[in-house]
Each structure stands twice: as C-alpha cells, then as structure tokens.
C-alpha cells in the first residue's frame, strides 16, 4: 500500500476510535462475506464493523490515545466501532458469536478503558442505558434536569446504582407504614447512597444552583 494510502487509512481508523464510545476487537477468520454482511445489519447504523490491518490499527490507536494490547491485534481483525448503545452492540456481537462460532470477540475499549472478552460478554448481560436511566431516575424521584445529568454518567455507575435501588425496595416494603406527616418517598441520605449516586447528584445539584439568577 503506498504511503499516502497508509496515512489515509491510519487517519480514518484513528477518527473511528476518537468518535466512538466503545470499540470491540474481533477475529473473523472463516466468516463468509455474506455472514459479515449479516453481522453489520445486526449491529445497525450506529455501529461500524470494519475490517482493519493490524499494523495500521496499532498506529491509529496510538494517534487516538487508545491503549490496545498487541495480543488483540493478531490474525484477521475487524473492529466494531460503537457510537450508539454499547450494551445493545455487545448483545448483538455476543448473540452472533453464539450462532457463528467463527466470530471471536477478543477484547476492546470503553470510554478509553481496556475491556477483556469476558467483560464485554458481561456487558451484554446488562440492561440498556435507557432502562437503567429509568430505574435510577425513578428511584431517586429525579427532576428532568437531574435525569439528564444521570444520562451522561458511565454505564457501569448507572448499573450499580440501579441495582442498589432495587435492593433497597424490599427493605422499605418490610418497614412499618409511615405516618401521614412523613414523606411518601424517602431519598437516600449521603450515608445510605452508593458513592456513585452521591457524586452524580451533587454534580447536578451544583449545576442547577449555578443556573439560578442571583437575588
């Protein structure tokens, strides 16, 4: 490949890394063109499944500030660059790999952090960002502005917070009925709340306070 083409290819891959929230590295050895096309359709329009050259990908990842273990870039490589829901993309890849064992999920990156193949499979078992957001916002009785702040939180934080809220419900149901003067819904205190919840809520509250006009 001429140098100008290599430079262009590296720049294109680096741009994909930069503009994607996650990238899943796979080996597609043995898959037919028809199967690869079917996988691309399964992943949808917000995920780009691109066959790449390993040497160029290493350079592109370095240019984009992404650390990728060299062991992941061995053999015929294709990368799913995810710009939409990372959980849905992980589910699609996992399900396709189950039906087509020649597709091997090797690892990847999420928000700049390395992921193992096991972590990607575990991610596929999570609920979507929208479902987690609904659970968290509902559990906290959040205002729309707070919900918007939560939506920007990392998926792992929302998953842990949603789980904590679900575990809190049985304990509240077993408690004696509250008096009429008591609030119907009790928010987390700083001591009770998961660390993620306190960090998220505090950040949003500060944002709301700064937006209020001075008296």
Read off the pLDDT band of 190 (50, 70, 90).
very low
Q: Which helix (H) or strand (E) holds 26?
A: strand 22-27
State CA 16 to chain mean position distance: 16
pLDDT-derived band at 83, boundaries 50, 70, 90: very high
Specify whether the CB–CB gap between 83 and 19 falls below 8 A.
yes
Mean pLDDT of the chain: 76
Residues 142-153: pLDDT tens digits? 545 555 555 555
* Residue 53: predicted pLDDT: 96
pLDDT(215) > 80:
no
The two structure tokens encoding residue 141:
């009785």
Q: Which of 17-26, 50-59, 152-161, 186-195 has the lowest mean pLDDT?
A: 186-195
Q: 6-10, 31-35, 95-99, 121-125: lowest mean pLDDT where?
A: 121-125
Helix (H) or strand (E) run with residue 1 in it: none
The pLDDT assigned to 39 comes to 97
User: Per-residue pLDDT tens for 104-138?
Assistant: 999 999 988 999 999 999 988 886 555 555 655 55
Identify the architecture of domain 3-124 in CATH: 2-Layer Sandwich (3.30)
User: Can you give the three-state secondary structure of 175-188, one letter per residue?
Assistant: CCCCCCCCCCCCCC
To the question of pTM greater than 0.85 for the whole model, the response is no
Mean pLDDT of 161-166: 60
Task: Give the pairing of strands 104-110 and 113-116.
Answer: antiparallel
Q: How confident is the model at residue 208 (pLDDT cuts 50, 70, 90)?
A: very low
How far apart are alpha carbons 110 and 155 in whole angstroms? 10
Asked if the model's pLDDT at residue 21 lies above 90, the reply is yes
pLDDT grade, residue 201 (50/70/90)? Answer: very low
Which positions ≥6 away from 141 have C-beta within 8 Å? Answer: 185, 187
Residue 114: beta bridge partners?
Answer: 109
Report the sign of the C-alpha dihedral through residues 7, 12, 17, 18, in that order: positive
Of the candidates 168, 129, 142, the residue with the CA atom closest to the CA atom of residue 21: 129
Q: If 0-12 CB within 10 Å is exposed, 13-18 middle and 19+ buried, where does residue 79 land?
A: buried
Comparing 195 with 17, the larger pLDDT belongs to 17
Q: Is the pLDDT of residue 44 over 60?
A: yes
What confidence score (pLDDT) does residue 191 get? 41
Per-residue pLDDT at 209: 45
* pLDDT for residue 212: 47
Pair of tokens at residue 73 = 């870039």
**Taking the domains of the chain in order of start, what are their residue ranges?**
3-124, 129-211
């Amino acid at each position: 490949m001429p140098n100008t083409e290599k430079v262009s290819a590296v720049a294109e891959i680096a741009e994909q890394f930069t503009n994607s929230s996650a990238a899943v590295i796979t080996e597609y050895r043995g898959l037919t063109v028809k199967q690869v096309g079917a996988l691309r359709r399964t992943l949808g329009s917000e995920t780009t499944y691109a066959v790449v050259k390993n040497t160029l990908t290493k350079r592109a990842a370095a240019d984009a500030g992404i650390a990728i273990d060299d062991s992941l870039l061995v053999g015929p490589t294709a990368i799913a660059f995810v710009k939409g829901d990372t959980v849905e993309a992980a589910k699609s890849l996992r399900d396709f790999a189950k039906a087509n064992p020649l597709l091997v999920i090797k690892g990847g990156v999420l928000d700049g952090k390395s992921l193992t193949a096991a972590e990607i499979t575990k991610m596929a078992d999570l609920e979507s960002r929208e479902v987690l957001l609904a659970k968290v916002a509902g559990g906290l009785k959040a205002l729309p502005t707070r919900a918007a702040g939560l939506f920007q939180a990392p998926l792992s934080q929302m998953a842990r917070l949603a789980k904590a809220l679900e575990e809190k419900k049985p304990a509240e149901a077993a408690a004696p009925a509250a008096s009429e003067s008591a609030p119907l819904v009790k928010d987390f205190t700083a001591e009770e709340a998961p660390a993620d919840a306190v960090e998220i809520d505090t950040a949003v509250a500060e944002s709301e306070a700064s937006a209020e006009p001075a008296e």
